[in-house]
């Protein structure tokens, strides 16, 4: 498979290594300064860039009839536009705040726990995410996905980085050293606490998941999620 890497930073480099190990070829390494030359020869584009570059990366790929796997976070306000363009071009698109198998299992557990906890208003939910100090966005895309998973399965209706009102989920975003990504969902009552926690030990899981999603999407048309790739529906 021929892969265009849109973003060649910390993630792009790990994805390149894993893709080469799995027998794929890299036809473009797009950073801030070079062009999209080579994009139209790719079977799939993998975008791990920066919030302000994601929309250009994704739309240029759809315009070149190249399916897109996007892991970039912090650009979600444009997600519906990208879905519309993908449908117009009869393209294929997977965007996920987190491609690791472990986090996608964690997402399922989070939704299951939220359904149970919705019956017990003596507990209040909060979330914490910890990432490296180079991270541009806060809260993390994964924390936003976790908050949405609770909101869709409970009476909570919003998340906030500030002090939370009764039906809001407080997210604490911490930036420490080179932490790859730690997320904790806590239900706290006067008598006890229940915690669900995922700790990434490195970036390998995110990168492998993105390459598996890229292998999966080639030849398909439509809007997909990691639930489709991992058969979690």
Ligand X SMILES: NC(=O)C1=CN([C@@H]2O[C@H](COP(=O)(O)OP(=O)(O)OC[C@H]3O[C@@H](n4cnc5c(N)ncnc54)[C@H](OP(=O)(O)O)[C@@H]3O)[C@@H](O)[C@H]2O)C=CC1
Annotated binding site for NAD(+): 71-73, 96-99
Is residue 98 at the binding interface for ligand LZUJQKHR, with CB under 6 A as the rule?
A: yes
Q: Is 34 helix (H, G, I), strand (E, B) or coil?
A: coil
Binding site for ligand X (CB under 6 A): 6-12, 30-33, 48-50, 53, 57, 71-74, 96-99, 206
Distance CA 208, CA 180 (A): 15
Is 135 one of the annotated active-site residues of the chain?
yes
Distance CA 115, CA 119 (A): 8
The angle formed by the CA atoms of residues 211, 212 and 214, to the nearest 5 degrees, is 60
Annotated binding site for (S)-2,3,4,5-tetrahydrodipicolinate: 132, 141-142
Other Cβ atoms within 10 Å of 42 Cβ, number: 26
Q: Per the residue annotation, which of 135, 148, 170, 221 is the catalytic one?
A: 135
Q: Which helix (H) or strand (E) holds 162?
A: none
Q: Which is nearer to ligand LZUJQKHR, 31 or 37 (CB)?
A: 31
Nearest approach in angstroms of CB 188 to ligand X is 28
Q: Which residue has the tokens 């265009």?
A: 4
Is residue 135 at the binding interface for ligand LZUJQKHR, with CB under 6 A as the rule?
A: yes
Nearest approach in angstroms of CB 48 to ligand X is 4
Is residue 154 at the binding interface for ligand LZUJQKHR, with CB under 6 A as the rule?
A: no
Is residue 104 at the binding interface for ligand LZUJQKHR, with CB under 6 A as the rule?
A: no
Nearest approach in angstroms of CB 130 to ligand LZUJQKHR is 9
How many DSSP H helices and E strands does the chain contain?
7, 11
Nearest approach in angstroms of CB 170 to ligand LZUJQKHR is 17
Q: Decide which of ligand X, ligand LZUJQKHR, none touches 53; Cβ closer than 5 to 8 Å per partner kind.
A: ligand X
Nearest to 29 by CA among 65, 64, 66, 2: 2
Q: Which is nearer to ligand X, 69 or 169 (CB)?
A: 69
Q: Which is nearer to ligand X, 117 or 200 (CB)?
A: 200
Indicate if the alpha-carbon torsion angle 100, 101, 106, 108 is positive or negative: positive
Strands (E), 117-181: 124-131, 158-160, 168-175
Annotated binding site for NADP(+): 30
How large is the C-alpha radius of gyration of the chain? 18
Nearest approach in angstroms of CB 194 to ligand X is 26
Tell me how far the alpha carbon of residue 10 is from its chain's centroid.
15
Q: Which residues are the active-site residues? A: 131, 135
Chain positions contacting ligand LZUJQKHR, by CB under 6 A: 73, 97-98, 131, 135, 140-142, 181, 206
């Amino acid at each position: 498979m021929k892969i265009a890497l849109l973003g060649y930073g910390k993630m792009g480099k790990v994805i390149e290594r894993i893709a080469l190990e799995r027998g794929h070829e890299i036809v473009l390494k797009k950073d801030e300064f070079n062009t999209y030359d080579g994009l139209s020869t790719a079977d799939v584009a993998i975008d791990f860039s920066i919030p302000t570059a994601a929309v250009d990366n994704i739309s240029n790929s759809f315009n070149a009839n190249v399916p897109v796997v996007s892991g970039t976070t912090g650009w979600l306000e444009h997600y519906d536009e990208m879905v519309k363009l993908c449908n117009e071009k009869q393209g294929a698109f997977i965007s996920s705040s987190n491609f690791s198998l472990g986090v996608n299992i964690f997402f399922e557990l989070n939704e299951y726990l939220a359904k149970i906890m919705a019956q017990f208003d003596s507990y209040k939910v909060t979330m914490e995410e910890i990432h490296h100090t180079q991270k541009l966005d806060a809260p993390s895309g994964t924390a936003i996905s976790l908050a949405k998973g609770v909101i869709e399965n409970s009476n909570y209706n919003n998340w906030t980085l500030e002090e939370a009102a009764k039906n809001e989920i407080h997210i604490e975003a911490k930036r420490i050293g080179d932490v790859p990504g730690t997320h904790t969902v806590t239900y706290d009552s006067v008598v006890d606490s229940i915690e669900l926690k995922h700790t990434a030990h490195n970036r390998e899981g995110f990168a492998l998941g993105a390459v598996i999603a890229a292998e999966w999407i080639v030849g398909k048309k439509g809007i997909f999620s990691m639930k489709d790739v991992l058969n979690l529906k």
